[in-house]
Amino acid sequence: MSVPDLSSYAERWNRRHLLDLESLSADEITILLDVAQALKDATQGCRRKLSLLTGKTCANLFFENSTRTRNSFSLAAKRLGADTVEFGSAGSSTAKGETFADTAKTIEAMGVDWVVTRHSTPGTPNLLARELGCCVLNAGDGPHEHPTQGLLDLLTIRQHREVLEGLTVALVGDIAHSRTARSNIWGLRKLGAHVIICGPPTLVSPRWQELGFEVAHHLDEILPRCDVLNLLRIQFERQDARPFPSVHEYAALYAMNGARMKQAKDNILIMAPGPINRGVEITPEVADGPHSVILEQVTNGIAVRMSALYLLSAADDRFANSAVDPT
Ligand code: CP
């Protein structure tokens, strides 16, 4: 496969870490999306290999479960010719009392260029960015952010609608515990979309309104205006108390189902970060229906992770012998 010339993007990129979308500019997010699209095209839909990062090594340090993010980071690194190291907390020396930072430093000392980390504690990627010398990518830190999920959602919308500016995008469900919601909220706003944050009052803070976002508690009231729905899973594992009387009542008010599809725009995009709970936030007929782009989101996960690995590595190489202090 021929390697695309991405040097003009790399020259405009100055970060060695990807920790969140809140701190990125619209220009930086656009660079990440443009490179992701170029790499997706050059790898024939993320299926073929390019020799772009040969000789580099990516370590996946996952302290929480993952199917999509972990495997797609691994595939993204391999598609660009890099090696991977897979670390799972189960069976590791963390059970013997080793700290998170010491574990990460130990893996880094084996000669890795990127550490991809997922942890239940917000801020853990920022800690590693201070402690380690290599590039750090946040693969989800508790309910804080999941920047590559936000990017793959933006890329998927862009592929269907070309521009995000002016689109109305609703994030529906468990906003309070969703790192995907937070990364989408910042990314969508920066690219000019109108964001509606929708869910039960127990799962949507009124502070989003103070920050200038539209907040809604009734899906049926906002549905006819939406170009895109992103349906978030109820994260029972992060909740101390049940935020609604029953799953049945939640589904009656917020699940996207066949009857609600009749109230939606003809070209509405149905998205979900996954894993999905069929019958809770989305019914099978909608999840598997013609408006659903859920599996396209999965493929785009490889594209945006290839983009992030490439751009961070390019900045790292550029700054390696430079007096400039990179971000
Ligand atoms: N969307 C997402 O982060 O999925 P995984 O938990 O499977 O990685």
pLDDT tens by residue, 143-162:
999 999 999 999 999 999 98
Mean pLDDT of the chain: 94
| Amino acid 237: pLDDT | 72
Residue 244 pLDDT class (50, 70, 90 cuts): confident
**Residue 270 and residue 281 in contact, taking contact as beta carbons nearer than 8 Å:** no
pTM above 0.85, yes or no: yes
Q: Which phi-psi region, left, alpha or beta, contains residue 142 (left: φ > 0; alpha: ψ -120 to 50)? A: left
Residue 276 has phi, psi (to 5 degrees) of -95, 150
Average pLDDT over residues 198-222: 96
Residue 140 pLDDT class (50, 70, 90 cuts): very high
| pLDDT of 273 over the 80 cut | yes
Which residues surround ligand 1 with Cβ inside 6 Å? 66-69, 140, 146, 149, 273-275
| pLDDT of 308 over the 70 cut | yes
**Ranges 10-24, 47-61, 79-93, 175-189: which has the least confidence:** 79-93
For residue 275, say if its preceding peptide bond is cis, omega within 30 degrees of 0.
yes
In the block, tokens 């609703």 appear at 170
Write out pLDDT tens, residues 96-107. Answer: 888 899 999 999
Which of 65, 69, 144, 151 is the best mutation target for the ligand 1 pocket, counting ligand atoms within 8 Å of the beta carbon and taking the most?
69
Residue 67 pLDDT class (50, 70, 90 cuts): very high
DSSP-derived 3-state class of residue 117: strand
| Amino acid 236: pLDDT | 67
Atom of ligand 1 nearest to the CA of 146: 3
**Residue 198 and residue 232 in contact, taking contact as beta carbons nearer than 8 Å:** no
**Residue 257 and residue 286 in contact, taking contact as beta carbons nearer than 8 Å:** yes
| Amino acid 95: pLDDT | 76
Q: Choosing from 17, 40, 43, 69, which is the catalytic residue?
A: 69
Residue 182 pLDDT class (50, 70, 90 cuts): very high
How many Å lie between the centroid of ligand 1 and the Cα of residue 116? 13
